[in-house]
Amino acid sequence: MVAAAVGVPLAIALAVLLVRRQVPVEPGGPSIAKLSGKAATAAAVAPPPPTLAGLDLTKIDVKDQGVTAPLPDKRTAKLAIDPALQRVAENVMSMHHLPEATVVVMDVETGKVIAYASHIEKGPKRDLAVEATAPAASIFKVVTGTSLVENANATADQRECYSGGEQRILAHDLVPDPRRDRWCTTLGGAMGRSINTVFARLALANLKPAELDATARSLGFGSALPFDVPVQPSAARFPDDQLGFARTAAGFWNTTLSPLHAAWIGAAIARGGEPVRPVLATDIVEDGKVVWSAPTNLAQKRVMKSDTARAVTTMMDMTVSDGTSYRAFHDPKGRSFLPNVAVAGKTGTLTDAAAQRYYTWFAGFAPSRPIVLPAEAQKDGHEPSQPRKVSFGVLVVNDAKWTIKANVLAREVLRAYFAGQHVPGVSAPRTERRERADQAREGRPPATSTTPATKQRRQRGS
């Protein structure tokens, strides 16, 4: 184990072990990014600006006239949060009694965080948005897809045939075999349907561990994300063996991610490869006066080529249009909950059966293409005004009983956002009060379901 190398501190050894076993570490603790088993480094958590030190985001106060959070010395931070959007996120999580869930929504242009909600059904409040203890799962396919485009000239429409790998990847799944590989798709289709074998094979055949590691680092893994409060670094560890490397590239363990980081990656892709610093606190108020205002529109170092961002967007579009989130974003008759709004997203699903924790992710941005209405829906022949793009990182952690996954939670929040932007055909979701009234009137309890028990960790290709 790398941790046993001479001169490596005990703290780093423990961090390596925690990432390897996917044991949650304390918020703000170190994470490890390991390159080919030869080096390990611990990334420190970047402190917030001195004026925001002590900002308590577990005590966000939502009022119609604005959203605030307390600071030390009787100061108050005004937040960029949209009160209506925040309430929808909080209500949906509460209504479904989710054990743990987080919603982060960013304005892609300015970096302003317009929704920032954490829900813990039992136990003390925590700011889950900055914790990178959850496995990144298949969200990491976005990193692998980016690396394939940048380093191997992969395209969204290149055709790949495959077999196996639905719940796990075995050594024989990595070997192309025309006799077994009877299913074929494009790389975009593989992203949309989260086909593990395609990503595992392509990474093994076309990427060196150093190349995938470099892409992960450019996308923020292994370092602290600049933000108003300390952010636990997301981690990526690449095993030495080929099978372990291929599994990691496909999203099977060895990586962690925070919801804020997921939203940041979505914004970077939406902006053509140039990320923006997320901003939550817009002003500091002391004795009734604004004593500090945050800069916005802070573009950061480019993390991918603009052509790469377009290719990855095309892949992510498939998730909702014809992939793992089609059913979440369409009713049983195939009608979209977000008509005319293209969503570039990626699901992630991973189960730790031993810990009884069922992780689901949905991350991306919308609209991924300009909104175009049918001619009959256009008023006076004018094109609709375009809503501001938003990126999002949504995580739901269920136990044995669960009600909704992250893509459904994200859908409801996006419905609220685009309805508020007056996009034709988009309706706001049910509020908690309305849903409970309907349940009482119809004599039905809240819907629940149970995840099947498993004896080992599994990922279901989503």
Question: What's residue 383's pLDDT?
Answer: 66
Question: What's residue 355's pLDDT?
Answer: 84
| Cα separation, 439 vs 162, whole angstroms | 45
Q: Which of 181, 207, 206, 205 is nearest to 195 (CA)?
A: 181
Q: Are strands 159-162 and 357-366 parallel, antiparallel or unpaired?
A: unpaired
Question: Across the strands, what pairs with 283?
Answer: 78, 293
Is the pLDDT reported for residue 227 higher than 60?
Answer: yes
Is the pLDDT reported for residue 106 higher than 50?
Answer: yes
Q: Going by C-beta distance under 8 Å and a sequence separation of 6 or more, which residues neighbour residue 182?
A: 161, 163
What is the torsional sign of CA 437, 440, 445, 447? negative
| Cα separation, 462 vs 85, whole angstroms | 27
| Cα separation, 30 vs 35, whole angstroms | 16
Is the pLDDT reported for residue 378 higher than 90?
Answer: no
Tokens matching residue 427: 């309706």
**Cis ω for the linkage preceding 230 (within 30 of 0):** no
Is the pLDDT reported for residue 35 higher than 70?
Answer: no
Three-state secondary structure of 111-122: CEEEEEEEEECC
* Lowest mean per-residue pLDDT among 43-47, 279-283, 340-344, 377-381: 43-47
What is 270-325 written as a DSSP string? HTTS--B--B-EEEEEETTEEEEE-----B----S-HHHHHHHHHHHHHHHHHSTT
Q: Which of 457, 276, 254 is nearest to 365 (CA)?
A: 276
Architecture (CATH level 2) of domain 50-450? 3-Layer(aba) Sandwich (3.40)
Q: Which of 395, 361, 393, 141 is nearest to 248 (CA)?
A: 141
Q: Which residue has the tokens 């009787």?
A: 74
Mean pLDDT of the chain: 86
Question: What's residue 14's pLDDT?
Answer: 36
Mean pLDDT of 365-394: 82
3-class SS of residue 404: coil
Is the pLDDT reported for residue 265 higher than 50?
Answer: yes
Is the pLDDT reported for residue 178 higher than 70?
Answer: yes
Question: What's residue 2's pLDDT?
Answer: 33
- Express each pLDDT in 126-150 by its tens digit: 999 999 999 999 999 999 999 999 9
Q: Going by C-beta distance under 8 Å and a sequence separation of 6 or more, which residues neighbour residue 163?
A: 173, 177, 180, 181, 182, 183, 197
The residue ranges of every structural domain in the chain are 50-450
Q: Does pTM top 0.75 for this prediction?
A: yes
Q: Which of 215, 219, 262, 293 is nearest to 365 (CA)?
A: 262
Mean pLDDT of 300-320: 98
∠ CA 405-409-410 to the nearest 5 degrees? 115
Phi, psi of 217 (to 5 degrees): -65, -40
Is the pLDDT reported for residue 296 higher than 90?
Answer: yes
Question: What's residue 47's pLDDT?
Answer: 64
Q: Which residue has the tokens 């949650």?
A: 24
